[in-house]
Each structure stands twice: as structure tokens, then as C-alpha cells.
Amino acid sequence: MNLISIRDLDKKEIEKILDLSEEMAAGKIKRKYDKILATLFFEPSTRTRLSFQAAALRLGMSYLDFSPETSSLKKGETFTDTIKVISGYADVLVIRHPKEGTARLAGDAIEKPVINGGDGGNQHPTQTLIDLFTIRKTKGKISNLNVSLLGDLKHARTMQSLVYALAMFGAKITLISPKGLELDPTLIKEVEEKFDAKIKTKSELSFNDADVLYVCRIQEERFADPYEAKRIKEQFMLKSEHLKNTKKDLVILSPLPKINEISHEIDANNKAKYFEQAHYGVPVRMAIIDYLLGRQTRN
């Protein structure tokens, strides 16, 4: 079994992984694996790669780290050949690649479990599971929560999978993004049809009825004009004043890194849960590895 896309999972499976993550976070699971995890990152990443390696170590596993700079890919070897070879060295593979569909291609090509660590602008399912876990942990549930998504919703790697999952769980979604950086309308249509999702769009940064506020990065390179980029970033930056009339138990999340998206003083606000969210990366990824390896031995 692989973890390639949130579209492959149903609610029951996601809940199973979240429950398992809960047990991992509480240190209840003592299972150890005499196995090797390979992290293959074809583009830079710190958090995803390190937290997968940490998860492997906590499960008693070892890891191999692959970097394309020094590999035979430079000599013209195809991606599929590289994956087929490395699949003989490890028991689980985590793949991040700038091209969309790469993890699926790898999953179809080899027998070992493949985990998608992000494929272009398509999916980042493990981040989504961390997000869902953090929401459930801090709010006690996901369904019927008002979730506001702020920032570049078009290019943010995590958005495709997160919106899909939130809709699946019956959250009420509000989208706030700069012009031109809106969420893919075909995704909105898809989740409205599949899950009868309620999705609103607005332009002002007011979060009075929000239970969860999820902040995405706005990258300067998305704008042709640097002045325009500066102006938009300023306009969409989350500041303390935006939190004045928000609910007492509002939870602010972010996939991080944050550069200028969230004003520094918010870090000290007890509504800010993004560092906690980042720390959950390890137990949730432990749960994912355990889930996939467990499925493999049972089948």
C-alpha cells in the first residue's frame, strides 16, 4: 500500500491514521521495525525530510538519504530506473519531486510502499494528515468547524489535499486570497459535488466566526512586479489587529516556513499553534509509516 494522494483515502482510513498518530504522540506504541526508510528529495525540503527521518529513528528504523545532485540522474538515468534500484536498498520510500504525478509513477513501478512527500503543486498528503491531526487535537473535532484559509491558495503545495480533506470531514471553508492566487475552481467544484461542501470566498481579513485560521505563504516570485508583490504581502500579512474580535479558542495554523505572512508578535499569542503543529509532524509520520508497514505484513 502507498500514500500518494488524499483522494485515495476515505474518512475511515484517515481516522485510523489520526488515532494511530494519537497513540504515537502519547508514546503508547512500542512497536519497533528492523527496516530502512529512504528519503528521496528531488527538491529542497527541511521539515518534511527531517521529520520523516526522525519518525524512522523513533520507530527503531534506519534511514537512507538520497540527494539528486550527486546521483546518476545527472548522467541521464531515468527517474523510474533510479527508483527501481533504490527500492532494493530500502523498505519504505518517501519521495518529493517538483513534477506532478511522480510519487504515483514510483508507486506503480515498485512493490515497496511509497509515501508522497509532495509532488509539484498537486498533493502533499502527509502535511494534510498533520494539519487534520492538529485541528482534531486542538479543537476536538473537524466537522462543522469554520476554517479560514488565507494566502496564496493557488500555488501552496498543501492546499489541494487540505481542502479536499476538510470538505470530506464536513468543515465549513472560507477562502481569502489575493487576486490571481485563488484556489483552483475545479477543486472547489469537485468537493462541492462529492461532499456537498460549503465553500465561501471573501476578500477582507476578518476572522470573527473562524475556529481555525490556516495561513499559507505568498511567494514574491509569483508576481512579475516586485512593488506589487510587496504591496500584496503587506496587505495579506496577519497582524494582531486582525485577531481582536476573533473567538477565544481560535487556532492559527501554518505549514511553515513563514517569512512575512504572520507578524512576529503573534508567535506569543496562545492562539498560535503552528509550532505545535510542526512538532506533530513526527508522531503523524510515525503513524503513517507504521500504518503502511503494518498493512504490508498483514496482507
Partner 1 sequence: MLNVEAIENGTVIDHIRAGKGKKVLEMLGINENNAGRVALVMNVPSKRLNKKDIVKIEGAFVNEEQTNLVALISPKSTINIIKNGKVIEKREVEIPNALKNVGNCPNPNCITNTEHAEKIFEKEESKFRCHYCERCFAAEELVG
- Which residues does the annotation mark as catalytic? 47-48, 75, 96, 124
Q: Nearest approach, Cβ of 7 to partner 1 (angstroms)?
A: 7
Helix or strand run (H / E) with residue 162: helix 159-168
By the rule CB under 8 A, 99 interacts with partner 1: yes
**Total number of residues that touch partner 1 (CB under 8 A):** 22
| Choice from 15, 23, 182, 190 touching partner 1 (CB under 8 A) | 190
Q: Nearest approach, Cβ of 105 to partner 1 (angstroms)?
A: 5
By the rule CB under 8 A, 116 interacts with partner 1: no
Q: Which is nearer to partner 1, 65 or 192 (CB)?
A: 192
By the rule CB under 8 A, 182 interacts with partner 1: no
From the number of C-beta atoms within 10 Å of its C-beta (0-12, 13-18, 19+), residue 130 rates as buried
By the rule CB under 8 A, 127 interacts with partner 1: no
By the rule CB under 8 A, 299 interacts with partner 1: no
Q: Report the C-alpha gap between 173 and 163 in whole angstroms.
A: 8
| Choice from 104, 124, 136, 242 touching partner 1 (CB under 8 A) | 104
Q: Cα–Cα distances in Å, from 13 out to 28, 222, 244?
A: 20, 36, 38
How many residues are recorded in the chain? Answer: 299
The site string for partner 1 over 152-181 (x = CB under 8 A, - otherwise) reads --------x---------------------
**196 closest CA partner among 261, 156, 249, 143:** 143
Q: Report the C-alpha gap between 157 and 168 in whole angstroms.
A: 19
Q: Give the gyration radius of the chain's Cα atoms.
A: 19
The angle, 0 to 180 degrees and rounded to 10, between the axes of the packed helices 79-86 and 102-109 is 50
Q: 96 in helix, strand or coil?
A: strand
- 275 Cβ contact list (under 8 Å, min separation 6): 267
Q: Which is nearer to partner 1, 189 or 244 (CB)?
A: 189
Name the DSSP class of 183.
P
| Choice from 2, 5, 146, 158 touching partner 1 (CB under 8 A) | 5
| Choice from 2, 39, 51, 122 touching partner 1 (CB under 8 A) | 122
The piece of 49-57, 114-122, 225-233, 285-293 that touches partner 1 (CB under 8 A) is 114-122
By the rule CB under 8 A, 295 interacts with partner 1: no
164 CB neighbour count, 10 Å cutoff: 23
The piece of 99-107, 207-215, 265-273, 285-293 that touches partner 1 (CB under 8 A) is 99-107
Q: 172 in helix, strand or coil?
A: strand
By the rule CB under 8 A, 126 interacts with partner 1: no
The site string for partner 1 over 237-266 (x = CB under 8 A, - otherwise) reads ------------------------------
Q: Determine the straight-line distance between the first and last CA of the chain, rounded to whole angstroms.
A: 10
Chain residues that interact with partner 1, rule: CB under 8 A: 5, 7, 78-80, 97-102, 104-105, 119-123, 160, 186, 190, 193
